[in-house]
């Protein structure tokens, strides 16, 4: 399986349980890696893969319209979106809120799912997923 990654996608989203979080959209950073068919590289045809530009556009569009209480729920929603709309066989996503706590750079979640429940956790994690 080949993989595409998107690192440092900045979005504004309505997420949180506290009144200060729910009063306005807040910035998030999303990092994703998702599986794509090997045939894309073999045939050199965009029709055989998942367009990262379409993923970014769709994630931003959906997050502008939805409210989530938890980053965990938002993360699972993004994974389901990748499975259902883009037919990705495997997805890894990290979503973080920068600067929401004093003296903490960011807080967030990290989710990895295979379409059929399989895990590929032996795969290396792109550097953006584990930023210091």
Own/partner contacts of 61-64, CB < 8 Å, gap of 24 or more, are: 63/11, 63/12, 63/13, 63/14, 63/28, 64/12, 64/13, 64/25
Q: Give the sign of the dihedral formed by CA 35, CA 129, CA 95, CA 13.
A: negative
What local confidence, expressed as pLDDT, does residue 20 receive?
81
Residues noted as catalytic = 97
Q: Residue 99 falls within a domain, yes or no?
A: yes
Structural domain count, the chain? 1
Please provide the size of the chain in residues: 132
Kindly state whether residue 93 falls inside one of the protein's structural domains: yes
> What is the model's pLDDT at position 4?
95
**pLDDT, averaged in runs of 10, over the chain (132 residues):** 94 90 90 89 87 97 94 96 95 92 90 77 50 44
On whether residue 131 sits in a domain, the answer given is no
Kindly report the CATH number assigned to the domain that includes residue 15.
3.30.1130.10
124 within some domain: no
Whether 50 is covered by a domain: the verdict is yes
The residue range of the domain holding 106 is 2-117
Structure tokens at 98: 């920068």
Distance (Å, whole) CA 33 – CA 110: 11
Q: What is the pLDDT of residue 131?
A: 46
7: in domain: yes
Alpha helices by DSSP H, listed for the chain, are: 19-22, 39-43, 52-65, 71-86
- Residue 71, domain member (yes or no): yes
pLDDT of residue 18: 84
Q: In Å, how far are 80, 121, 125 from 16, measured between CA atoms?
A: 20, 28, 27
Residue 80 lies in a domain: yes
């Amino acid at each position: 399986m080949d993989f595409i990654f998107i690192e440092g996608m900045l979005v504004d989203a309505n997420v949180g349980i506290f009144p200060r979080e729910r009063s306005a959209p807040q910035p998030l950073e999303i990092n994703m890696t998702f599986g794509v068919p090997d045939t894309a590289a073999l045939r050199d045809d965009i029709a055989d893969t998942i367009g990262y530009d379409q993923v970014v556009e769709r994630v931003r569009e959906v997050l502008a319209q939805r409210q989530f209480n938890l980053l965990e729920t938002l993360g699972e929603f993004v994974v389901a979106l990748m499975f259902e709309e883009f037919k990705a066989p495997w997805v890894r996503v990290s979503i973080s809120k920068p600067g929401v706590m004093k003296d903490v750079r960011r807080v967030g979640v990290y989710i990895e799912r295979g379409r059929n429940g399989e895990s590929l956790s032996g795969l290396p994690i792109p550097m953006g997923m584990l930023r210091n």
